[in-house]
Structure 1
Amino acid sequence: MTVTAGAPPIVAGGLGAAFWRMWTASVVSRFGDALRGPALSLVAAGLTRDPETIALVVIAGQVPGLLFGLLGGALADRWDRRLSMAGTDGLRCAMVVGLAIAVATGNVNVGLLMVFAFAMSTVGTLFDSSSFAILPELVPADRLAKANGRMQVGSTISGGLLGGPVAGGLFVVAAALPFAVDAVTFALAALLALTLPRMSAAQAAAAPRASLWGAAVAGVRWMWREPSLRLLAILSAAANLVIGALLAVIVLLILDVFGVPEAAYGLFTLVGAAGGIAGGVFASRIGARYGILPALRRVLVVQAVALTALAAASGQVVVGGAALGVFIAGSAIWNVLVNTYQQQAVPAELRGRTGAASRVVGLASAPIGAALGGLIAGQFGVASVAVFGAGVFVVLAAVSWRALTGGPAVS
């Protein structure tokens, strides 16, 4: 199977006021997420030191994406996406306020944390699908890759660089403070979402009329019947399998394989954030130069080389850091270009559902990869996880090199 691309090339240009309002809402909300995640874990650790119980809180926040992701995509195609984004952020604001009050008054337990994490993630499925689907309506088609890249950069800075350190500082001041700030970010994001363009009459007429589940299944079928989208979903799932395996042992990889001192661990992780930022900045330029599909196959080759270097970087901090940064940059470029391709290749009335289907596939493979990474590390050593990852990416690069071809980029 060969997948080709033949749409107008990506070009540079302004993104418009509507995009920057959405960008601001996304970045502010992502900052709040980065505050809430560590704070939730710290609250859980203050209630119990049982690792299995604490893990249940994390799992409760991961399950809804698999259970309700497709339904969130169906609702995103049925409702006004602007109102869906504002409504979900408003609801999440109220939920975070409630948790902040519970934490401040000492009326919190592990069960409440699990319910909270589950509910927040469930509501988030609608927001994620709506924001993915509305972006092509805010920017010219030839600037969509640039817009996705800017979204990636903003998310990485606010979540990867700023959120974690600030969360710890706020928690020291008061355990409820990170949640209170998170509530403010949701309120601001909801107000900004209301300023985005309304659903047009044509969009309303094209909204799915089938049952909610029937509409969700129709989106999955549409994606699966399109060779390019099907192949990209399979490649993304395989890549997420490797990423899940690496994340499961990343702390041991950095400390024991690279030889990074514990005191420098936090500083070393900034390499990953730098890679994510670089990938977001250069993704649109790479897509413009090679075309999106040919660029994606090149990304897989680079990532295969990076993982090979990662596996061979025992005791070599510089080599290990550079390889990790390059791999994460490749993942950022992959996400930007795949999102761009999907947003342009899918009709507007199906965009929420097909995007949700792709995310569900990725969510399903990541925990499997995490379990596999733990098993491989336990049997063959931590560095073997990187060897496994390199082997998978070599196969993905070989498959994609023959399958992903084409001319001008899909923007």
Structure 2
Amino acid sequence: MSRVVEAVAPARLGRDFRVLMASTWVSNLGDGIALAAGPLLVASQTRSPALVSMALLLVGLPWLLFGLFAGAVADRVDRQRMVLVANSLRIVVLLVLVTTIVTGVVSIAVVLGAMFLLGTAEVFADTAYRTFLPMLVEKRDLGIANARLQAGFITLNQFAGAPIGAGLFAVGMAVPFGVQVGCGLLAVVLVSRMALPPGPVRGEVDTHVLRDIADGVRWLMGHPPVRTLALVIVTFNVTWAASWSILVLWSLDVLHMGPVGYGLLTTASAAGGLVATFLYGRLERQVPLATLMRTCLGLEVVMHLGFAVTTTAWIAVLIMFGFGLYAFVWGTLSQAIRQRAVPLEFQGRVGSVYSVAIYGGIVVGSALGGVIAEHGGITAPFWFAFAGSGLTLLLVWRQLGHIAHADDDTRVQAPEPHAG
């Protein structure tokens, strides 16, 4: 057993990293259960497509509304306490939701309201969570540490959580959310046992929160590699979301795979990501980081082209497997690069800009995908994604060498502190 633990979470990463990993894995399991149970609960209350789609919107909307504010707060307060408070509020909301289900007073309004509140609490919890790693592990270990956290997301959230959530919902509507409460409580206990430096990383501050947000944006804009990485992430999320938004229709109407086949596509993607969890450490050690970034982005361009031209189901499944593999490597590597480059006192604000960029890109891309498919056909969004991602890659190809070693860039200076 000790050998397995060492392989998953090497001792050099420290005890607190192992506690953080356990906490995030438990939380991922609870979120994965809700990933299946949430839509089922919505469908049990309404058959309105508008209200069903509203549920998904209300989960992501808080990131656009509160993401930057949450990043500023994470850099002003005790981050460990911020996670504990936010996750405790999530538990309270879940308990209220469970109570309404058990007592039979649940309604679509209650469910939608709960989803918005849960999404809002998640913004603050996740923003602070993401600042922990640079406080716990050495810069050289950020890649493998991120890979281990992402392994829990893929295994427990995408693979295990959804079928467990659906099965528990079949037992009783309130059961999966009760289990999620238990996961949340355990995650809170684990986070409370981490030995992080007490208090805010910036010490006492007297600046306005809006000034802090502006300073975070100014820091990012003044750091060319980190700024370019943010622009790459926005653009590639727009192109990815444009094609992903109509993936289900493409699988049904072009590949003729049926509902089960669509599920196979998403499962293949998760399987690719799971394989990547075992390969990431070796790749980061043996392949130059710039080469690794170019390869991942290049494969993304090729994936869009493959989807645009293929009409064969098994080829699509292979492409999805490859997508899951390189997307995991890209996501882990890009996050580690950003964490290495950003000072501790800016991790919350710069990280929140990235989160807002990701969700903003997804919103824009999803809207574009629907419009493009409506006027150009089901495969048109894939051609758009191929052209857009390919052009972006050509424009940033040379800059990726600087991005890969953004932590070596000393041209940027932290903004001067402001009084008042």
Between the aligned partners of 1:210 and 1:407, the Cα distance in structure 2 is 31
Residue 23 of structure 1 aligns to which amino acid in structure 2?
A: M
Between the aligned partners of 2:129 and 2:105, the Cα distance in structure 1 is 34
Between the aligned partners of 1:268 and 1:298, the Cα distance in structure 2 is 22
Aligned alpha-carbon RMSD (Å): 2.0
Residue of 150, 161, 170 corresponding to 2:148 = 150
CA drift of 1:337 comes to 1.1
Tell me which residue corresponds to 1:97.
95
Between the aligned partners of 1:384 and 1:327, the Cα distance in structure 2 is 19
Tell me which residue corresponds to 1:287.
284
Q: Is the 8 A contact 1:85 1:130 kept in 2?
A: yes
Helix, strand or coil for the counterpart of 1:133? Answer: coil
CA offset digits 1:341-373 (Å, max 9, x no partner): 111101101101100011101111111111111
Normalising to structure 2: TM-score of the pair? 0.89
CA drift of 1:305 comes to 1.5
Between the aligned partners of 2:273 and 2:237, the Cα distance in structure 1 is 16
Does 2:344 align with 1:348?
yes
Between the aligned partners of 1:317 and 1:208, the Cα distance in structure 2 is 57
CA offset digits 1:179-232 (Å, max 9, x no partner): 10011111000000011123257x545464311222122111111111011111
Tell me which residue corresponds to 1:257.
254
The number of residue pairs the alignment matches comes to: 398
Does 2:345 align with 1:336?
no
Tell me which residue corresponds to 2:45.
47
CA change 1:21–1:190 in 2 (3 A) is same
Tell me which residue corresponds to 1:318.
314
Between the aligned partners of 1:135 and 1:204, the Cα distance in structure 2 is 14
Q: Is the 8 A contact 2:255 2:313 kept in 1?
A: yes
Residue 399 of structure 1 aligns to which amino acid in structure 2?
A: L
CA drift of 1:130 comes to 0.9
**Which structure ranks higher in relative contact order (CA pairs < 8 Å, sequence separation ≥ 6)?**
1
Residue 255 of structure 1 aligns to which amino acid in structure 2?
A: L
Q: Is 79-88 or 353-362 further displaced after alignment? A: 79-88
Helix, strand or coil for the counterpart of 2:190? Answer: helix
CA change 1:329–1:364 in 2 (3 A) is same
Tell me which residue corresponds to 2:109.
111
Helix, strand or coil for the counterpart of 2:82? Answer: helix
Residue of 287, 300, 305 corresponding to 1:303 = 300
Tell me which residue corresponds to 1:84.
82
Does 2:388 align with 1:392?
yes
Does 2:207 align with 1:214?
no
Q: Is 203-212 or 341-350 further displaced after alignment? A: 203-212
CA drift of 1:263 comes to 3.5
Does 2:194 align with 1:196?
yes
Residue 305 of structure 1 aligns to which amino acid in structure 2?
A: V
Between the aligned partners of 1:196 and 1:13, the Cα distance in structure 2 is 15
Q: Is the 8 A contact 2:305 2:386 kept in 1?
A: yes
Between the aligned partners of 2:143 and 2:405, the Cα distance in structure 1 is 10
Q: Is the 8 A contact 2:338 2:406 kept in 1?
A: no
Q: Is the 8 A contact 2:266 2:320 kept in 1?
A: no
CA change 1:406–1:226 in 2 (3 A) is closer
Residue 239 of structure 1 aligns to which amino acid in structure 2?
A: F
CA change 1:264–1:362 in 2 (3 A) is closer
Between the aligned partners of 1:407 and 1:212, the Cα distance in structure 2 is 29
5+ residue gaps, structure 1:
1-11
Helix, strand or coil for the counterpart of 1:371? Answer: helix
Normalising to structure 1: TM-score of the pair? 0.91
Does 2:43 align with 1:32?
no
CA drift of 1:169 comes to 0.7
Helix, strand or coil for the counterpart of 1:78? Answer: coil
